[in-house]
Structure 1
Amino acid sequence: MKYPAGRIPFEYERNDLAKVVREVMERRDTNIVGGNISIKVQDETGKFFYVMTPTMMSEAYMGYLNADQILVIEPHTRKVISGTGKVTREINMHEAIYDANPEIKCVFHSHADQCMFWGTSGLNMPNVTEATQKLKEIRTLNWHPMCTEELAEYVSAEIKKLGAKALRNGFILNSHGTLFTSGGKDMDPLTALHKSLADVDITEYNAKVAYKQTVFQQIGVLDGYYSEGTKIGTWEDVKAGKALYNKKTTQNKKGD
Structure 2
Amino acid sequence: MLYQEEREQLAEIVKKMFSRYETNTAGGNVSVRINDQHIIMTPTHMSQKYHCDISPYQVLVVDMDENIVEGDGRITREINMHMACYKHNREIGCVLHAHALQSMFFATMGIDMPNLTEATQKFGNIPCLDFAPATSKELAEKVKHYLENKALESVINAILLNKHGVLITDTNLIKAYDNLGRLEYNAYIAEKALLFDKLGICKIENKELNYNVDE
Q: Distance in 2 between matches of 1:123 and 1:82?
A: 39
CA change 1:93–1:255 in 2 (3 A) is: closer
Whether the 8 Å CA contact 1:41–1:49 is kept in 2: the answer is: yes
Whether the 8 Å CA contact 1:101–1:160 is kept in 2: the answer is: no
Match of 1:9 in 2: 2
5+ residue gaps in structure 2? none
User: Matched residues, percent identical?
Assistant: 37
Work out which of the residue numbers 202, 218, 239 in structure 1 matches 2:182. Answer: 202
CA change 1:247–1:165 in 2 (3 A) is: farther
Amino acid at match of 2:63: E
User: Is 1:168 aligned to 2:129, yes or no?
Assistant: no
Match of 1:73 in 2: 62
Q: Distance in 2 between matches of 1:255 and 1:19?
A: 27
CA-CA distance at 1:164 after TM superposition: 4.6
CA change 1:247–1:13 in 2 (3 A) is: farther
Amino acid at match of 2:194: T
Match of 1:30 in 2: 23
TM-score calculated relative to the size of structure 2: 0.95
5+ residue gaps in structure 1? 1-7, 184-191, 226-230, 233-245
Amino acid at match of 2:50: Y
Match of 2:143 in 1: 155
Match of 1:239 in 2: none
Q: Distance in 2 between matches of 1:13 and 1:62?
A: 20
Q: Distance in 2 between matches of 1:254 and 1:65?
A: 34
For 1:123, what is the secondary structure of its paired residue?
Answer: coil
User: Alignment RMSD, CA only?
Assistant: 1.5
Match of 2:44 in 1: 55
Work out which of the residue numbers 192, 209, 214 in structure 2 matches 1:248. Answer: 209
Match of 1:228 in 2: none
Q: Distance in 2 between matches of 1:139 and 1:222?
A: 24
Whether the 8 Å CA contact 1:166–1:181 is kept in 2: the answer is: no
Report Cα offsets for 1:28-53 as digits up to 9, x if no partner.
111112311001112xxxx4211000
Q: Alignment length, in residue pairs?
A: 215
CA-CA distance at 1:255 after TM superposition: 5.5
Match of 1:64 in 2: 53
CA-CA distance at 1:62 after TM superposition: 1.2
Match of 1:21 in 2: 14
Q: Distance in 2 between matches of 1:18 and 1:217?
A: 40
CA-CA distance at 1:201 after TM superposition: 1.1
For 2:147, what is the secondary structure of its paired residue?
Answer: helix
Q: Distance in 1 between matches of 2:108 and 2:167?
A: 15
Work out which of the residue numbers 98, 101, 112 in structure 2 matches 1:110. Answer: 98
For 2:46, what is the secondary structure of its paired residue?
Answer: coil
TM-score calculated relative to the size of structure 1: 0.80
Amino acid at match of 1:12: E
Amino acid at match of 1:174: N
Match of 2:116 in 1: 128
For 1:38, what is the secondary structure of its paired residue?
Answer: strand
Amino acid at match of 1:50: I
Whether the 8 Å CA contact 1:35–1:111 is kept in 2: the answer is: yes
Whether the 8 Å CA contact 1:34–1:111 is kept in 2: the answer is: yes
